[in-house]
């Protein structure tokens, strides 16, 4: 029996070693603790915290309807969220930072990196934290460092996404203005109660209101405008499905913004939805900063591509933004446009 005990002991010992080796079998000699940047299931991520070296921070949180909020207030751009989640999923080591450059890279990452934290539902601690540094010289990789259990790793890596040539640091930013969703009006016709368009010439202003028969056109005093083609009104309302601004103006000095706002708006468009919430946008001409000229070489009085706009959201936020004529020309109509178009149609 004593002999058997030795055999059994050896067998158990070997079994333990075998199990150890089976779990230790790796396809990589790199320490997985240091290279484990990727998050396989990004659908479980509910919060992303980004802090830039200049002190700016941002928290993005997933809502039950899968939209994301910036600092629990404003809606975030879905395309940017998709990119950050895709990056978190596909990110992989391109190569370890050479030993000769390691110290310098760590210093740079300590001073000038962006910290990113990913959280899953119900966990107070982030499941992944990393520091994103600069791009490599050939712009095909990005220096990064992982943090585990609150401790920064001592080994930075050059990270990339296989099949993508470029750097990743531009995907992680904490500028609220850049994260902001760019929608002004995204309403289906059925969701619209009233559209009010004020032009500089008040006789050209109009209101479109929901009626029992659909929608109807009124002048600014509330008097119905007769003989308007319903199809034209329907087409106009349809355009409020996707009206976006180009970007928040966080470059212009306050004096310029004040000067713009002191002028009379070019158009004021207010849309009230069926729940009574109103979104208002005021558009202002933008000076011809780029000095574009017409065919005869005369400079245009205003920018021919863009305008300034002030957007008043129903939640109480106000944005000063750039908008493009290509978008706004669709909704900046005058009352006479409807009348003339209807007349032409009837003549035909």
Chain-centre distance for alpha carbon 117: 18
Residue (28 or 291) nearer to another protein, CB: 28
Stretch that binds another protein, among 10-18, 70-78, 110-118, 287-295 (CB under 8 A): 10-18
Residue among 66, 72, 100, 291 that touches another protein (CB under 8 A) = 100
Binding residue (CB under 8 A) for another protein from 95, 188, 214, 317 = 95
List CB contacts of 14: < 8 A, sequence separation 6 or more.
Answer: none
- Both tokens of residue 15? 């079994």
**139 makes contact with another protein (CB under 8 A):** no
Q: Give the interface segment with another protein, choosing from 27-35, 75-83, 241-249, 302-310 (CB under 8 A).
A: 27-35
With binding defined as CB under 8 A, does residue 7 bind another protein? yes
* Measured CA distances, 111 to 53, 56, 104, 132, 169 (Å): 7, 14, 11, 11, 15
| Comparison of 1 and 318: residue with beta carbon closer to another protein | 1
Secondary structure of residue 312 in the 3-state scheme: strand
Contact set for another protein, span 60-79 (CB under 8 A) = none
DSSP state of 178: H
Q: Does 23 bind another protein (CB under 8 A)?
A: no
Please give the residues from 146 up to 205 whose contact with another protein meets the rule CB under 8 A: 158, 162-165
State the DSSP string of 59-75. EEEE-TTS-EEETTTEE
Geometric angle at alpha carbon 183, from 68 and 78, rounded to 5°: 30
Q: Which of 10, 110, 261, 326 binds another protein (CB under 8 A)?
A: 10
Closer residue to another protein in complex, CB, 30/330: 30
C-alpha atoms less than 13 angstroms from C-alpha of 147 in its C-beta half-sphere: 21
The two structure tokens encoding residue 64: 């039950």
Binding site for another protein (CB under 8 A): 1, 3-4, 7-8, 10-11, 14-15, 17-18, 21-22, 24-25, 27-30, 90, 93-96, 98-101, 136-138, 158, 162-165
């Amino acid at each position: 029996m004593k002999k058997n005990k030795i055999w059994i002991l050896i067998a158990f010992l070997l079994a333990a070693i075998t199990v150890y080796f089976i779990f230790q079998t790796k396809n990589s000699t790199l320490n997985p603790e240091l290279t484990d940047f990727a998050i396989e299931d990004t659908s479980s991520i509910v919060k992303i915290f980004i802090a830039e070296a200049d002190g700016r921070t941002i928290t993005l949180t997933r809502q039950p309807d899968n939209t994301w909020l910036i600092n629990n207030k404003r809606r975030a751009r879905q395309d940017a969220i998709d990119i950050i989640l895709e990056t978190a999923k596909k990110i992989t080591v391109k190569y370890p930072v050479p030993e000769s450059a390691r110290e310098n890279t760590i210093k740079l990452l300590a001073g000038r990196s962006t910290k990113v934290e990913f959280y899953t539902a119900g966990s107070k601690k982030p499941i992944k934290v990393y520091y994103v540094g600069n791009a490599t010289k050939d712009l095909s990789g990005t220096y990064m460092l992982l943090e585990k259990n609150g401790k920064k790793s001592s080994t930075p890596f050059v990270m990339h996404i296989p099949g993508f040539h470029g750097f990743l640091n531009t995907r992680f930013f904490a500028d609220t203005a850049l994260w902001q969703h760019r929608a002004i009006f995204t309403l289906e016709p059925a969701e619209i109660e009233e559209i009010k368009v004020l032009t500089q010439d008040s006789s050209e202003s109009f209101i479109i209101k929901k009626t029992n028969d659909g929608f109807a056109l009124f002048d600014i005093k509330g008097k119905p405008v007769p003989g308007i083609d319903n199809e034209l009104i329907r087409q106009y309302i349809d355009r409020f499905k996707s009206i976006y601004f180009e970007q928040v103006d966080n470059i212009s000095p306050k004096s310029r913004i004040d000067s713009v706002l002191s002028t009379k708006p070019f158009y004021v468009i207010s849309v009230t939805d069926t729940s009574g919430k109103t979104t208002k946008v005021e558009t202002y001409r933008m000076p011809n900063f780029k000095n574009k000229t017409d065919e005869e070489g005369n400079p245009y009085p205003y920018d021919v591509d863009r305008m300034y706009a002030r957007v008043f959201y129903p939640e109480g936020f106000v944005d000063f933004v750039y908008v493009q004529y290509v978008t706004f020309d669709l909704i900046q109509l005058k009352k006479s446009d409807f009348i003339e178009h209807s007349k032409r149609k009837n003549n035909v």
